[in-house]
Amino acid sequence: MATIKVHGHHLSTATRLVLCCLEEKQVDYELVVVDLAAGAHKKPQYLALSPFGVVPTIQDGDLTLFESRAIVKYLAKKYKGQGTELFGNSLSEEALVEQWCEVEGQSYNSPASAILFQILFVPMRGGTTDEAVVEMNVEKLVKVLDIYEERLSKSKYLAGDFFSLADLQHLPTTHYLVTACGKGDLISSRKHVKAWWEDISCRPAWKKVSEKSS
């Protein structure tokens, strides 16, 4: 069986999400580095794989797939029965995983990514962080995390008492929030969110990806 090729960049949150999923599923892969600084993701060769010019894209045999959340769902389903089960073990568990994956994509990621962009990437490009934008998005994230705190007071993980894709999807962005943006207090000030984060961020698959990428 051909090895899955992941076209991406080791510092990209979306690429890290896919790599972590592959590690959890114990699937061999090859990372083909896309030089984002040189604009390789906007050149014809890469656009032929991913027309929106974003990373990552995977090639699995005849299948070419972009959009990281679609990729991890595909991997979780294709490799069911191998490595970590990321969708639970019943239809109702799968529904809860899907629900909390949607929460991450719709409610958590937008403010978290906006904070990352302002604090990390704007200065990299010679700009100045807009503190008003940071503050506005911190306020949004606080409201989301208060809901997480309530949920996690009742279950160990977001979808239930099992680690799933819903938890995994939070790893890359939250890692940067805590380690590079000085926003760890958003996590550590909430007892159950803190315990959840300490648990999921210590998983061997994530440690392997984040340490390799640092």
Per run of 10 residues, the mean pLDDT along the chain (length 214 residues) is: 90 96 97 90 93 96 97 97 96 98 98 96 92 98 98 98 98 96 96 98 97 66
CATH 3.40.718.10 fits domain 91-208: no
* CATH topology classification for 4-78: Glutaredoxin (3.40.30)
Element (H, E) at 139: helix 131-152
pLDDT of residue 214: 46
The closest of 68, 67, 12 to 210, measured between CA atoms, is 12
What is the maximum alpha-carbon separation in the chain?
Answer: 51
Residue boundaries of the structural domains of the chain: 4-78, 91-208
The answer, yes or no, to whether the previous bond of 111 is cis (omega within 30 of 0) is no
Rounded CA separation 116/176 (Å): 7
Rounded CA separation 51/44 (Å): 9
The three-class DSSP label of residue 29 is strand
pLDDT, tens only, 67-78: 999 999 999 999
Can you point out the beta strands (E) in the chain?
A: 4-8, 29-33, 57-60, 63-66
Rounded CA separation 17/44 (Å): 25
Q: In what order do the strands lie in the sheet with 57-60?
A: 29-33, 4-8, 57-60, 63-66
Strand-pair partners of 102: none
Buried b (16+ CB within 10 A) or exposed e, 49-67: bbeeebbbbbbbeeeebbe
pLDDT of residue 1: 65
Q: Please give the backbone phi and psi of residue 30, each rounded to the nearest 5 degrees, phi first.
A: -120, 125
pLDDT of residue 92: 98
